[in-house]
Structure formats: structure tokens, C-alpha cells
Amino acid sequence: MVIDIHGHLTPGPEAHVYQARLIMNRGRPAEQARPPTVPDESVASTIAPHLDKLRAVGTDVQLISPRPYAMMHSVKPLKVVRSWTAFVNDLIAQQVRLSAGVFRGVAGLPQYRTEPVGAAVEELERCIRTLGFVGCILNPDPMEGDEGPRPAGLGSEYWYPLYEKLVELDVPALIHSASCVDPRESYTLHFLNEESVAIMNLIESRVFTDFPSLKLVVAHTGGAIPYHIGRFRAWRLRAGGGEAFDDSLHRLYFDTCNYSKDALEHFFKVVPARNVMFGTENPGTGSVRDPASGRQMDDLKPVIDSIESLTNEDREMIYSENAMRVYRLDRGRYAR
């Protein structure tokens, strides 16, 4: 059983037409009230190549969330973000329903600049309780790299209503930024930088004291932190006391979305298998043939299979057991 916790929705043409209309009309009420109904046949044909790609690499289940660079969190005004997020979550639910058991839903949240997270909490609850989703993605930078005030780091109480709801619903959040409008940074590099910021904000805060059962997953093997672990170990030692930096880091979960075997070997020296879940983004950035191996770069199972430091028990945890536990994929009424 192979569960990929890091997949994203493939939006079809109807979605993009609605997206463009929402932006052009700045989300006026008439547009908000008219999200298109996408026919099942159209959704089925949109997801068919996606399902083929998963079948080709032996992935049994994939958790799909909104395509991050299309989340539009920084597009003004707020109602564009709310309408678009709700539409995308409904489309994910439809894709899950038509995927013959392959997909599970992970919600996007209507995060917007420094707005309080109340609307995000409401949408999370709707997606879990009504649509049967198994978690959400959480964008630590709803400004998407734009100038101007942004919410405080993930260690601040700004985020607490959301953490409370995650704990109450017993679902995890995948920390994953969205687009990036700063011309110095691509969205893909912004992912990594924001993951580093998120990790440091969280583990230097009271969040895991205040929410001991909160489950947060960091995408892409944790930004730069595992590579610079020595720097942060030293920082913590010089601060004198408290728990070891590694113990703090291990309060978080991580996915394996890193397309270098060498890098993954380093990652597994820093993060134990019990904190790691298989994740690939397939289809996404890594969906290209690696001239060295001849395989798609996001075909990570053979890569992880070949990492000698891992035991078979480790691989079981990474491929399925941890995801089953963290995302509670076995809960009956939410099964699909």
C-alpha cells in the first residue's frame, strides 16, 4: 500500500474560466453566486491522465489539495479568495468521488492578508465534516511575497483559532505556501523559504506546549532546515538550555518531496522515519524524465527503496502507516 500525501488537484478548463471571471469581476456577488457546475464526464476526463500517472508508479492513494500557485491568496478583494477557495474545494470533492478510491481530499483555506482566520476555520470545518476531507493545507504567507503587513509567524496566537479547530477535528495541516508575486522569487523557491521560516517560528514558540496533539506536516523535506541543522543546533546550544534542537524538529512531520536521492539520504539522517510520509507532488514540478535514471523525477518510490539506511519497517511507516495514523484514513464515514 503506497499513500502519497502530497498531490494537487488538476483543474479543468471550467475552473480556469470561473477563476478568470472572478478576477475580472472582482468577485461581485452575482459571480460568487454562480460557480459553474462541472459535469462529471468533464471531471473524469480531466483526472484520467493524473490517475494514469499514479497507476504507472504504483501509488494506491493520493491526498489532493488545491494547486498552490493557483490559490490566489493575495488577489484583491477578499471575496475573490473566498469564492475561489470554496469552488476549488467542491471540485476536489467531486474529483475524489470520481477517482474510484484513489484520491482523498485536503482542503485549501480562504486565507487573506492579515484577516483573522475565522473564515479559514469555517471552511476547514465544512470540508472535514461535510465533504469528508482528511486535512488541509496551510499557507504561512497569505501575502504571497507581496509588500505590506503580513500575519505574524506560525508561532503567534494569530493562528490559534485554526490550531484549535485542527485539534478538535483531529486532522493535520500541510504547511505549503501558495504563489509568489515578489519578482526576486519563483513560487517554487518561495515554498522552500517559507517552510524554513515556518519551522523556525513553530519550534521557537509555545505552539506545541499549548497544542500538544497538533499535527503539522512540512512539505518538501523541510525547506533548508535539515541541511543547515548544524547551524540551528549551535544556535540552540548557544542560547543555553531548553530541549535539543533535533527534539524540537521532531515535533513536526515531513514529506519526501525532494527529487535528489543524495538529499533524501541526508534528510533521513536528520529526521526519523516515524516523522516522514511519502509525498511526491506527482504530477507537478518533478514530472520530467531524469536523463540520469531514465525515470520520472517524481517517481520517488524506487529512490526510497534504494536508500540503504532505511529498514523495511521504516519504509512501511513512510509509504502508508504514518499517513494512515496522522490523517486517520481508516475512519469509516469519512472514507470517501
Residues near a second copy (CB under 8 A): 147-150, 152-153, 183-186, 188-189, 192-193, 196-197, 200-201, 220-221, 223-224, 226-231, 233-235, 237-238, 258-260, 262-263, 265-266, 269-270, 285-291, 297-298
Between 290 and 321, CB nearer to a second copy:
290
For 257, left (φ over 0), alpha (ψ -120 to 50), or beta? beta
Between 35 and 153, CB nearer to a second copy:
153
Between 60 and 146, CB nearer to a second copy:
146
CA distances from 159 to 10, 103, 140 (A): 29, 28, 10
Q: Which of 37, 44, 49 is nearest to 100 (CA)?
A: 44
Beta carbon of residue 96, minimum distance to a second copy (angstroms, whole number):
27
Contact 131, 63 (CB under 8 A): no
Beta carbon of residue 101, minimum distance to a second copy (angstroms, whole number):
29
Between 53 and 104, CB nearer to a second copy:
53
The rounded distance, in Å, linking the Cα atoms of 281 and 298 is 7
Residue 210 sits at φ, ψ, to 5 deg, of: -80, -25
Q: Which of 115, 281, 308, 313 is catalytic?
A: 281
Q: Helices 78-97 and 13-24, interaxial angle, to 10°?
A: 170
- Is 14 among the catalytic positions? no
Between 20 and 244, CB nearer to a second copy:
244
Beta carbon of residue 329, minimum distance to a second copy (angstroms, whole number):
27
Between 92 and 229, CB nearer to a second copy:
229
Beta carbon of residue 301, minimum distance to a second copy (angstroms, whole number):
15
Beta carbon of residue 233, minimum distance to a second copy (angstroms, whole number):
7
Between 109 and 199, CB nearer to a second copy:
199
Beta carbon of residue 256, minimum distance to a second copy (angstroms, whole number):
11
Q: Which of 5, 23, 174, 8 is nearest to 91 (CA)?
A: 8
For 99, left (φ over 0), alpha (ψ -120 to 50), or beta? alpha
The rounded distance, in Å, linking the Cα atoms of 216 and 155 is 12
The Cα diameter of the chain in Å comes to 61
Positions annotated as catalytic residues are: 281
